[in-house]
């Protein structure tokens, strides 16, 4: 289909004026990480239908699609029209057009949150300590606590010796429990810089009496200093007592007030939700475990530290509204304070009134097409008869953790190339984690081949639930795994050159923000 074309200049004017706009990069994550506009959100054509309803909830918001000449825009426009989106545009010239207009291109992922973290350090001179000094303090058994502000899963992979998992939004709430003596030094770390800086500055902004420092350059700096990390640790923050909770509430609310955060009650939320001309995001910033135990209807689980780090992922519609919920209070207030400084119209919901739902967050999905399926038991027999080849459309990171034995990894948007790499003359069984993506892709694959195409009923999750074995690794790749960008700050096998290059890139972000001149960030 033919989409109306919009120029890079018009997109930039919308961003500066804070008019609602979703600038969506349809490529896979690895090419996206090499170059994109500051406020672009990566939403690949491969996963468009299974992510768009939550990430872009208003169907008449202005959406601008682009690629880098891969031919992804037209099919994306057709799919969005089928889902009811009515205000979809193509970026004139795509990524090359943005560059030709003389505008900045940013690298990596979560770029604008990371650039903001660098701006905070530049303007507030967030205190930090180098890895060597922190190691010396550990060796000397200094009076200090090391708080790891990443997700618990990241912390468990690798951590600073003695570090305690305290994800970013929990810091102001939990720090005084972990360091009740005001003379105890608090050191905040992450894998790189952003969550260390924002975490440490959160404690400074909240007025904690303790000496507070970020670990300079996080676990990257630690590794480059050739110091040892711990692996597989499970230390977590403690429960909070009423006295420290009240103190944290007062401190966090004061920070939110200084940042211009607004507050509303249940009726105020209802009023916002009835405004159909504005995008409204509702996020529960508590831990995933708390969310699963009970949450407000319509709210998505978005632990506060990650929401600040990955705002482009959770909320692609720049200029929309955000409402945060937290039954204790400080996590929403601190998260909101940062989102406000990032330029968002953000509210904190007072109270958890009304009915609550339980269970983990699940994405909203469109109506899935009717497809021919194969049960896990029947697939076992078909594999034994060597009658089928299984094609797994899961993210490559998920595929590596475990897939149907012998399955080939493929990227949905690259099915023609994948088909050429598959073993010939066998029926194809598509799978994905819950089967939704496989069901959406089945008709596309049928148009490319005369082979029978089936979908594993319930996806790989159903295979596992049936007690069937999975195989780790990426031994059969029909497409290169460009769906995932290898982050230089995650995992334990990164080259020193890549880690140093990443730090050098972060150091240059403040200057790049100034050249870009669209951000509208402020720092309290």
Q: Which of 237, 269, 284 is the last residue of a domain?
A: 237
What are the structure tokens assigned to 250, written together? 């007062």
Residues 280 and 215 in one domain: no
Residues 135-162: what's their mean pLDDT?
97
DSSP 158: S
End-to-end CA distance of the chain: 46
Q: Sheet of 144-148: strands edge to edge?
A: 128-129, 212-215, 185-189, 144-148, 164-165
Give the percent of the chain with pLDDT over 70: 100
Residue 89 has pLDDT above 90, yes or no: yes
**142-174 CB burial, b ≥16 within 10 A, e <16:** eebbbbbbbbbebbbbbbbeebbbbbbbbbbbb
Which CATH number covers residue 419?
A: 3.40.250.10
Q: Which of 190, 212, 237 is the last residue of a domain?
A: 237
Average pLDDT, the chain: 96
Residues 121 and 144 in one domain: yes
355 occurs within a structural domain: no
Per the CB < 8 A criterion, the answer to whether 388 and 429 are in contact is yes
Residues 233 and 255 in one domain: no
pLDDT band at residue 501 using 50, 70 and 90 as cut-offs: confident
Residue 353 has pLDDT above 90, yes or no: no
Q: Residue 4, class by beta-carbon neighbours within 10 Å (0-12 exposed, 13-18 middle, 19+ buried)?
A: exposed
Q: HEC string of 100-146?
A: HCCCCCECCCCHHHHHHHHHHHHHHCCCEECHHHHHHHHHCCCCEEE
Residue 381 has pLDDT above 80, yes or no: yes
CA distance 128 to 134: 10
Task: Quote the Cα angle for 348-307-167, to 5°.
Answer: 100
Give the residue carrying structure tokens 């894998």. 191
Q: What is the pLDDT of residue 403?
A: 98
Q: Residue 461: how many CA atoms within 13 Å on its side-chain side?
A: 9
Q: What is the pLDDT of residue 349?
A: 97
Residues 133 and 99 in one domain: no
366 occurs within a structural domain: no
Q: What is the pLDDT of residue 478?
A: 97
515 occurs within a structural domain: no
What are the structure tokens assigned to 403, written together? 């897939």
Q: What is the pLDDT of residue 352?
A: 82
Task: Quote the Cα angle for 211-216-218, to 5°.
Answer: 110
Q: Is the torsion defined by CA of 120, 126, 131, 132 positive or negative?
A: positive
Residues 102 and 145 in one domain: no
Q: HEC string of 355-403?
A: CCECCCCCCCCCCCCCCCEECHHHHHHHHHCCCEEEEECCCHHHHHHCE
Residues 355-379: what's their mean pLDDT?
94
Full residue range of the structural domain in which residue 158 is found: 116-237
**64: helix, coil or strand?**
strand
pLDDT band at residue 196 using 50, 70 and 90 as cut-offs: very high
Residues 102 and 124 in one domain: no
524 occurs within a structural domain: no
Give the residue carrying structure tokens 């033919």. 2
pLDDT band at residue 34 using 50, 70 and 90 as cut-offs: very high
Residue 48 has pLDDT above 90, yes or no: yes
Question: pLDDT tens digits for 298-341?
Answer: 999 999 999 999 999 999 999 999 999 999 999 999 999 999 99
Residue 495 has pLDDT above 90, yes or no: no
**35: helix, coil or strand?**
coil
What are the structure tokens assigned to 316, written together? 């692609």
CA distance 286 to 87: 34
82 occurs within a structural domain: yes
Residue 127 has pLDDT above 80, yes or no: yes
Question: pLDDT tens digits for 390-420?
Answer: 999 999 999 999 999 999 999 999 999 999 9
Whole-model pTM over 0.75: yes
Residues 321 and 230 in one domain: no
Q: What is the pLDDT of residue 172?
A: 98
CA distance 148 to 160: 8
Residues 200-220: what's their mean pLDDT?
97
18 occurs within a structural domain: yes
Q: What is the pLDDT of residue 492?
A: 73
Per the CB < 8 A criterion, the answer to whether 237 and 165 are in contact is yes
Residues 140 and 223 in one domain: yes
CA distance 385 to 408: 17
pLDDT band at residue 425 using 50, 70 and 90 as cut-offs: confident
Q: Which of 63, 79, 109 is the last residue of a domain?
A: 109
Count: domains in the chain: 4
Residues 383 and 295 in one domain: no
Q: HEC string of 207-263?
A: CCCCCEEEECCHHHHHHHCCCCCECCCCCECCCCCHHHHHHHHHHHHHHHHHCCCEE
Alpha-carbon Rg for the chain, nearest whole angstrom, is: 24
Of the candidates 387, 378, 455, the residue with the CA atom closest to the CA atom of residue 426: 387
Q: What is the pLDDT of residue 119?
A: 97
Question: pLDDT tens digits for 244-267?
Answer: 999 999 999 999 999 999 999 999
Q: What is the pLDDT of residue 289?
A: 95
384 occurs within a structural domain: yes
Give the percent of the chain with pLDDT over 90: 95
Q: What is the pLDDT of residue 384?
A: 95
Residues 146 and 89 in one domain: no
Residues 95 and 13 in one domain: yes
520 occurs within a structural domain: no
Residues 201 and 122 in one domain: yes
What are the structure tokens assigned to 300, written together? 């998505």
């Amino acid at each position: 289909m033919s989409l109306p074309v919009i120029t890079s200049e018009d997109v930039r004017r919308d961003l500066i004026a804070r008019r609602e706009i979703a600038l969506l990069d349809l490529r896979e994550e690895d090419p996206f990480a090499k170059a994109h506009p500051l406020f672009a959100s990566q939403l690949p054509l491969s996963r468009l239908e299974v992510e768009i309803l939550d990430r872009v909830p208003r169907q008449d918001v202005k959406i601008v699609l682009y690629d880098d000449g891969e031919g992804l825009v037209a099919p994306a426009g057709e799919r969005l029209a089928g889902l009811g989106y009515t205000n979809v545009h193509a970026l004139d010239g795509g990524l090359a057009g943005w560059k030709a207009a003389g505008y900045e291109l940013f690298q990596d992922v979560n770029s604008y949150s990371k650039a903001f973290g660098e701006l905070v350090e530049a303007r507030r001179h967030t205190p930090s300590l180098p890895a060597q000094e922190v190691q010396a303090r550990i060796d000397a058994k200094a009076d200090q606590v090391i708080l790891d502000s990443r997700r618990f899963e990241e912390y468990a992979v690798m951590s600073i010796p003695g570090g305690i998992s305290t994800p970013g939004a929990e810091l102001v709430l939990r720090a005084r429990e972990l360091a009740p003596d005001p003379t105890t030094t608090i050191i905040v770390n992450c894998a790189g810089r952003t969550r260390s800086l924002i975490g440490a500055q959160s404690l400074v902004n909240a007025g904690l009496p303790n000496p507070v420092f970020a670990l300079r350059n996080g676990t990257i700096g630690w590794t480059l200093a050739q110091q040892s990390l711990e692996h597989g640790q499970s230390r977590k923050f403690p429960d909070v007592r009423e006295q420290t909770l009240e103190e944290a509430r007062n401190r966090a609310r004061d920070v939110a007030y200084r940042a211009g955060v607004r507050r509303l009650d249940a009726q105020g939320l209802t009023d916002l939700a009835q405004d159909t001309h504005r995008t409204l995001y509702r996020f529960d910033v508590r831990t995933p475990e708390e969310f699963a135990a009970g949450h407000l209807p319509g709210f998505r689980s978005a632990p506060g530290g990650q929401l600040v780090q990955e705002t482009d992922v959770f909320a692609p519609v720049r200029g929309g509204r955000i409402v945060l919920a937290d039954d204790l209070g400080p996590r929403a207030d601190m998260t909101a304070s940062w989102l406000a400084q990032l330029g968002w119209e953000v509210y904190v919901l007072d109270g958890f009134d009304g009915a609550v739902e339980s269970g983990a967050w699940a994405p909203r999905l469109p109506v899935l097409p009717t497809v021919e399926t194969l049960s896990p038991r029947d697939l076992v027999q078909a594999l034994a008869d060597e009658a089928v080849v299984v094609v797994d459309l899961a993210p490559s990171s998920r595929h590596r953790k475990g897939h149907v034995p012998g399955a080939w990894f493929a990227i949905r948007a690259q099915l023609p190339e994948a088909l050429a790499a598959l073993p010939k003359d066998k029926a194809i069984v598509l799978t994905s984690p819950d089967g939704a993506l496989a069901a959406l892709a089945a008709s596309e694959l049928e148009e490319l081949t005369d082979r029978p195409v089936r979908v594993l009923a319930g996806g790989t999750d159903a295979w596992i639930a049936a007690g069937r074995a999975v195989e780790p690794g990426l031994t059969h790749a029909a497409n290169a795994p460009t769906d995932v960008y290898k982050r230089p700050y995650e995992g334990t096998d990164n080259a020193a050159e890549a880690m140093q290059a990443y730090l050098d890139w972060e150091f240059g972000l403040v200057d790049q923000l100034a050249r870009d001149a669209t951000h509208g960030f402020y720092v309290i």
